[in-house]
Amino acid sequence: MNSFILQTFNGISYAALLFLLASGFTLTFGLMRIVNMAHGAYYLLGGYIGLSVAKATGNFGFALIAGGVAAALLGFIADKVLIKRAGDNHLSQVLITVGLAYVVGDVALKIWGGDALKLPVPIWMRGVVELPGGIVYPIFRFFLTGIGVVVALLLWLLYRKTQIGAAIRAGVDDREMVSATGIHVDRLFVIVSALASFLAGFSGVLGGAFLTVYPGAEWEILVFALVVVIVGGLGSLEGAMIGALIVGLLDAYGRWLVPEMSYFVLFGPMAVLLLFRPRGLFGTANMT
């Protein structure tokens, strides 16, 4: 029973990390129709920048902000200089952003080397919590879960309770109609893109303290984030929440119960879901 509870906690904490990365990805595609495969590279860059800042300042909060800002700047430059030139051609978007991801990965390898590096965290995050039943669990995983819940709540409030959120939701459903009402869609693009990139870099710092940061991490985490988006449905914030929880728990239970088939446990249900719900659990009919 204790093992089941531990794996449930593991799945929830990993789901929090995946949500931070996937939420921006799904909203970016939902509003901007951009397939940005460089999201994993933003994660990697944020992790490395956060590592350098944490070592230089000893402040984990500064590292989180620096990682997010660095990814947001890279995302802004990529949108203006590279992705914008691809127009609505999704294949070009994929090729450009995959190329960008490889460039970022090689630059990171040159600067930080090829070893797996772990971000230093404050002393109070390094301990464990003793739970009823003799269960011992790391404090940092609870912290990560708490961050995920807080960010999810803030995003939900922004998405559902503000005028900006209403415009974003309308843009996801019918971008042309939103433009016709006089709303400056390009400004929405900038807001959503900056927020998505920031969250990717922010999650990279947390992931660097949680899983370590290393060359190739951008592709590994991106695969899981894509599964979250596919399961939850493109353009749906609620879908990203539920999808992240499903993927996190399936990954944890799969690695625990049948480690040699852990990928099947994750991707098998996804394939079955797509047979009956091709747009995911919360995807809309006009996500084309």
Report the DSSP beta bridge partners of residue 138. Answer: 128
Rounded Cα gap, residues 65 and 215, in angstroms: 22
DSSP-based three-state secondary structure for 285: coil
What length does the chain have? 288
Let me know: does 286 contact 173? Beta carbons within 8 Å. yes
Residue 284 binned pLDDT confidence (cut-offs 50, 70, 90): low
Q: Which H helix or E strand runs over 136?
A: strand 135-138
Rounded Cα gap, residues 105 and 120, in angstroms: 22
113-165 pLDDT, tens digit each: 999 999 999 898 888 888 877 788 999 999 999 999 999 999 999 888 888 77
Let me know: does 131 contact 117? Beta carbons within 8 Å. no
Domain 2-276 in this protein, CATH class: mainly alpha
pLDDT of residue 40: 92
CB atoms inside a 10 Å sphere around CB 161? 10
pLDDT of residue 65: 96
DSSP-based three-state secondary structure for 34: coil
Domain borders along the chain are: 2-276
Let me know: does 249 contact 9? Beta carbons within 8 Å. no
Rounded Cα gap, residues 5 and 204, in angstroms: 26
Share of the chain above pLDDT 90, in %: 49
Residue 288 binned pLDDT confidence (cut-offs 50, 70, 90): very low
pTM of the model: 0.91
241-274 in b/e burial notation, b at 16+ Cβ within 10 A? bbbbbbbbbbbbbbbbeeeeebeebbeeebeebe
CB atoms inside a 10 Å sphere around CB 23? 32
DSSP-based three-state secondary structure for 145: helix
Which of 208, 196, 199 is closest to 44 using CA atoms?
A: 208
Of 118 and 286, the structure prediction assigns the larger pLDDT to: 118
CB atoms inside a 10 Å sphere around CB 184? 11
- Name the amino acid, one letter, at 185: V
47-93 pLDDT, tens digit each: 999 999 999 999 999 999 999 999 999 999 998 888 888 877 888 88
Let me know: does 174 contact 286? Beta carbons within 8 Å. yes
